[in-house]
Amino acid sequence: MNTIIEPFKIKSVEPINFTTREYRERAIREAFYNLFLLKADDVLIDFLTDSGTAAMSSKQWAAIMDGDESYAGSRSFFRFEEVIKELTGFKHIIPTHQGRAAEKILFTVVGGLGKVIPNNTHFDTTRANVEFSGSEAVDLPVAVALDTEKRADFKGNMDLDKLEALIKKTGRENIPLCFLTVTNNSVGGQPVSMSNIRRTKALLNKYDIPLFIDACRFAENAFFIKLREPEYRDRSVRDIAHEMFSYADGCTMSAKKDALVNIGGFLALNDSGLAEKARSLLIMTEGFPTYGGLAGRDLDAIAQGLTEVLDEDYLKYRIRSVEYFGDKLEKAGVPVLVPTGGHAVFLDAHRFLPDIPPENFPGQALSVQLYLEGGIRSVEIGSVMFGKEVDGKFFGAQLELVRLAIPRRVYTQSHIDFAAEVVIEVFRKRNSIPGYKITYEPPFLRHFTAHFEALPIGGRY
């Protein structure tokens, strides 16, 4: 049997809303052509993000009911702590309300002016928290990560030559720790190999620099290692995850990804002095150390989710369903980033709409069109998000991407088939898609709230 089926059946359903093209034209106009400003009820299939959008299992809902809401010493905390200690091997487990809260606390403790934090690629909240502390965030992805047409097994890897050069230039004393993001979200959800993790640790050991893992998608990464690194073929994913964490001194995690819950996160680490400082900050900003920013029931749901996510039937379905979507598009000639990563399919808007220059936002143009055509919401990761204008001169992003992030356990194969048809139809009509100009933008993180206006087809700003 070749078909890989969803490894679950559905006990509770949530209707989605069908709209007409006319309705969507009005809705997107009223949202100023910014998909973040749409009402979610006006979206048919929501690929905006895989964060906090997972469907929980019946066992997780049962765990929610069983949550212990005691202010201190809650039973739910001890279950949460036990599961994460077993998974990661770290000594101190500190719950937070999201991944970014863990980052904020960690970089408040270790960051500061003049410090440098290397990472294969910082996720945007990680970068923001590093920079807010006064430190510099440096991305060191391998070169192949920037080539959307080139297939490679581990495009998420850290460039070790660049890491060593950075350490020599900056001085060990100015690098409080090094990060490794698994999978590497910002370059397309691409995995990091075990050999890269091991060699990163060995290099850091030479300079006595701790390694931290941004573990949001650790299980997807572990499964890719099993699939693509021959010596791990016969190892269990749990075992692979253990080994990944064994090379690190701590981690931050957004439970909204691979813990299969809608809210939550944690900081985990071995250094007791650091943990004590982190807990003091936690009490000020998140809550008492046995609940962080969470309800007891959330801690229980996370503990259960972290157990379920290592189920290899789940991971096989998860990775394959993203790949299936990417394959369908690739076969139809749609330019996608290859190979597909763990949590999303990325369209290459630069190749999709070659006539729209970066200053007219090809990624935005494409994501608006996917909504108009089929009610699909995606997110632009290109010059709207990263481009800027300095002294009247426009600087575009390195890549013009549109991300279709797949929520965990939410959509079935027919939803994906439909979405692929929509993308292919938009590709067929690609010569009649307008570029955009920005009519309003806030001073920071403009992609969330900017307003746009369509240009005439073939028009320029």
Could you list the residues that contact ligand PLP (CB under 6 A)?
51, 98-100, 123, 125-126, 181, 185, 214, 216, 254, 256-257, 265
State both tokens at 114.
């003049």
Min dist. Cβ of residue 254 to ligand PLP (A): 3
- What does the alpha-carbon distance between residue 331 and residue 324 come to, in Å, rounded to a whole number? 11
**Which among 270, 276, 220 is positioned nearest to 248, based on CA atoms?**
270
At 68, list the tokens: 């212990």
The nearer residue to ligand PLP, 126 or 340, going by C-beta atoms, is 126
CB of 321 to ligand PLP, least distance (A): 19
Nearest CB to ligand PLP, comparing residues 188 and 335: 188
**Tokens representing 340?**
């597909």
Contact 329, 345 (CB under 8 A): yes
CB of 449 to ligand PLP, least distance (A): 18
Q: How far is the CB of 120 from ligand PLP (least distance, A)?
A: 10
- Minimal CB distance to ligand PLP: which residue? 99
Nearest approach in angstroms of CB 419 to ligand PLP is 21
Integer-rounded Cα Rg, in Å, for the chain is 22
Instruction: Tell me how far apart the alpha carbons of residues 73 and 77 are, in angstroms, rounded to a whole number.
Output: 7
CA atoms of 154 and 316, how far apart (whole Å): 18
3-state DSSP assignment of residue 440 = strand
Helix (H) or strand (E) holding 137: strand 136-139
Closest CB 262 distance from ligand PLP, rounded Å: 11
Min separation Cβ 263 and ligand PLP, Å? 8
Q: What are phi and psi of 334, to 5 degrees?
A: -70, 130
Q: How many CB atoms lie within 10 A of CB 297?
A: 19
Q: How far is the CB of 149 from ligand PLP (least distance, A)?
A: 24
Of the pair 27, 102, the CB lying nearest ligand PLP is at 102
The residue among 209 and 267 lying less far from ligand PLP, judged by its C-beta, is: 267
Crossing angle of helices 296-308 and 75-88, rounded to 10°: 30
How far apart are alpha carbons 121 and 154 in whole angstroms? 14
Closest CA to 381 of 414, 349, 355, 334: 349
